[in-house]
Amino acid sequence: MRPVALVTGSSRGIGLAAAVELAREGFAVAVNGPFDDDELSAAVETVGKAGGSDMSAPFDVTDIACHDVWLQRIEDKLGPLTTLVNNAGVGVLQRGDLLEVSEASWDRCLAVNTKAMFFLSQSFAKRLIARERPGALFHSIVNVTSSNAVAVAVPRAEYAASKAAAAMVSKTFAVRLGEEGIHVYDVQPGLIATDMTAPVIEQYENRAKDGLTVLPRVGQPEDMGRIIAALASGKLPYTTGQVISADGGLLIPRF
Cα 226 to Cα 23, 25, 85, 120, 142: the distances in Å are: 11, 10, 13, 23, 12
To 5 degrees, how large is the angle CA 173–CA 182–CA 85? Answer: 75
Q: What is residue 213's DSSP assignment?
A: S
Catalytic residue among 159, 185, 204, 238: 159
Q: Is the Cβ–Cβ distance between 147 and 188 less than 8 Å?
A: yes
Question: Residue 47 and residue 45: Cα distance in Å, rounded?
Answer: 5
Q: Tell me how far the alpha carbon of residue 200 is from its chain's centroid.
A: 21
169 in Cβ contact with 212 (< 8 Å): no
Supply the DSSP symbol for 219.
Answer: B
Contact in structure between 191 and 213 (CB atoms under 8 Å): yes
| 185 classed as catalytic | no
Expressed in angstroms, the distance from the first to the final Cα of the chain is: 51
Residues annotated as catalytic (active site), given as ranges: 159
